[in-house]
Amino acid sequence: MAPLKNEAGGGHGLVFIFTPSASIAGATSSNHLGLFNRTNNGNQKNHVFGIEFDVFQNQEFNDINSNHVGVDVNSLTSTYSHPAGIWNENGKDFDELKLNNAVNYQVWVDYLNPQLNVSMGVAGKKRPSKNMISVDYDLTDVLLDEMFVGFTAATGRLFQNHRILAWSFSNSNSSISELLINTNLPSFVEPKSSVFRSVRFIVGIIVSSMIVIGLGTGVYVFLAKRRLLLKKKREAMEDWELEYWPHRINYQDIESATNGFSDEFVIGIGGNGRVYKGVMMGGIQVAVKRISHENDQGITEFLAEVSSLGRLQHRNLVALRGWCKRDRGSLILVYDYMENGSLDKRVFECEDSLLLSWEERMRVLKDVAAGILYLHEGWESRVLHRDIKASNVLLDKEMNGKLGDFGLARMHGHGHQAASTTRVIGTVGYMAPEVIRTGRASAQTDVFGFGILILEVVCGRRPIEDGKVPLVDWVWGLMEKGELLSALDARLKAKGGFDSDEVERILQLGLLCAYPDLSVRPTMRQVLKLLEGEHVAYELDEEGMEVCLLDKMKSTAMWSNYLLKSSYGGHPTFEQLRDSLSSSVSLTASDIITEGR
């Protein structure tokens, strides 16, 4: 853990947790560490066990200091806590270790009912002989038969970097920690001023430098000028090439990985170039996108992907490994290889053996929603994808969905509007009405695209097909007639394995996301919670009340009642939905998650 540069104090810390759910439901940020909120902190039904590494003394949780390790059971008020540090070999002297000084530490947590041991030390050194925390605590009523293991942290007004360089877990092998590689790890400690300040050292350096410079200046200047000239001619270096991570990859390595960009290695052809499968050194499989230089759009797409996806890291975004620009006409992007291809090849016109089940389709939609939520809220700038569709969703070997193709992506600051463009950007069938009218995209534009994605994944139909009614109009017509379940993919319906109520709820969510008035669409945070089957509060500021979206969406009759009143000939507005409710489910402000962890 380390405070960001020029930020004093640091953040709140992190927690190693056992939890019955991987969902973000019921968690708030800041001092709650993305683990609990004010209403459920201390609830015995949480079934959460954690080891906290706390760097902020919070009187609310009776913290002993601002640098301690604690045992948390269903609450952030630690059952046991101890200043962070290490016992010397003699077991009598205790040296404090500062948690957020950017030093790499290793922590050992052992539990053999009821004995709980926690110790820590500098990474690369052996485990201390005496534990920092050693207590008896029976976790039988806390740990369930199946639990998720991992880490959680959160930011608020205080923030810092948290890095988990390696970790291991086993419920049977007590020596698994010995398998971790804890040496030669990257260092994140800010460099100190040079230690070579003695007069003798400085004089020696000066004399040696003068000798070397005097002897080698002529040869160096000649070779440097010649090399620089050749490099500029070959690559035409530009300023942006020095700015963006990840670093460029050697062209020869990419050429070798794709067998000279052989046609046999082609796995896809897009509007601005081909995509090849490649095998890098070490047997690492990659996807290589060679962007066409025949038009300016190809260069724009290349820069958009390097500048956006190159700096984003999320498990539901396709990872960009690197890039290469051999010359102005050879632009290459290298991604992680997705073994199961794109989503459209598993939903449209595919063999039955490749067809995704209902459970798999729902998991992919949740994955994509989580990725979009990260783009909108989880990074220092808001990222608008602007081209969300089935062919841009890729599936890894475990069939996890990952959003890719950031060629149309744009970034802008939180709280600021994206600039309008002079031409329409996007794919026909997925573009929101306001983009066509004004050329201006927003987070709600991506929500519209995700709504279309929901409908095509559930229905097994593309948004626009020759000789057929557009997908949104078709689904809306079925709902108007009370036959919404008929929109489900016929092949999926034949296989079974779905819940009719869930299908209707997801289709209604798709229609709500694709509502023509952007102010009525839900946020991606609300969408993700609805996909996870939770009730979501939508706040109506003008009346200071909250209405449960999920309850409204389940009422097909209510949607139909407002069909005649809606100026759009279809979807009702939130105000109309509100007026039709004789009663509603009210959620308190603490139940609404406004900040992610």
So what's the pLDDT on residue 591?
28
pTM of the model: 0.54
DSSP-derived letter for residue 595 is: S
The first and second tokens of residue 328, run together, are 């102005």
β 273-279/160-161 pair status: unpaired
For 132-172, give the DSSP string.
Answer: SEEEE---TTTS-SS-EEEEEE--SSS-EE---------SS
Averaged over 291-296, what is the pLDDT?
62
Q: Which residues are annotated as a binding site?
A: 289
Output the pLDDT for position 345.
Answer: 92
476: helix, strand or coil: helix
Please, which residues have CB within 8 angstroms of residue 490's CB and are 6 or more apart in sequence?
A: 460
The distance in angstroms from the start CA to the end CA of the chain is 16
Residue type at 216? G
Residue 99 has pLDDT above 50, yes or no: yes
Binding residues for ATP, by number, are: 289
In this model, does residue 239 exceed pLDDT 70?
Answer: no
**Least trusted range by pLDDT, from 102-111, 230-239, 583-592:** 583-592
For residue 193, pLDDT over 80 is answered with no
Instruction: Tell me if 423 sits within 8 A of 440, measured CB to CB.
Output: no
Compute the average pLDDT of residues 266-291.
Answer: 86
Q: Is 517 in the active site?
A: no
Q: 63, 387, 405, 446: which one is catalytic?
A: 387
Selection from 201-215, 305-319, 495-509 with the highest mean pLDDT: 495-509
User: 384: which 2 tokens?
Assistant: 């608008």
Residues in CB range of 552: below 8 A, 6 or more apart: 558, 577, 581
Average pLDDT of the chain to the nearest whole number: 79
- Is a pLDDT exceeding 90 seen at residue 360? yes
DSSP string, 103-141: --EEEEEEEETTEEEEEEEETTSPPPSS-SEEEE---TT
Please enumerate in sequence order all residues whose Cβ is within 8 A of that of 510, keeping only pairs 6 or more positions apart, or say none. Answer: 451, 452, 453, 454, 455, 458, 475
The per-residue pLDDT for range 529-564, each reduced to its tens digit, is 999 876 555 544 433 333 455 455 544 444 444 344
Position 564 scores a pLDDT of 40
- In the chain, % of residues over pLDDT 90: 37
pLDDT value at position 527?
Answer: 94
CB 582 within 8 A of CB 564: no
Q: Count Cα neighbours of 596 within 13 Å in the Cβ-side half-sphere.
A: 17
Between the ranges 207-216, 403-412, 415-424, where is the mean pLDDT highest? 207-216
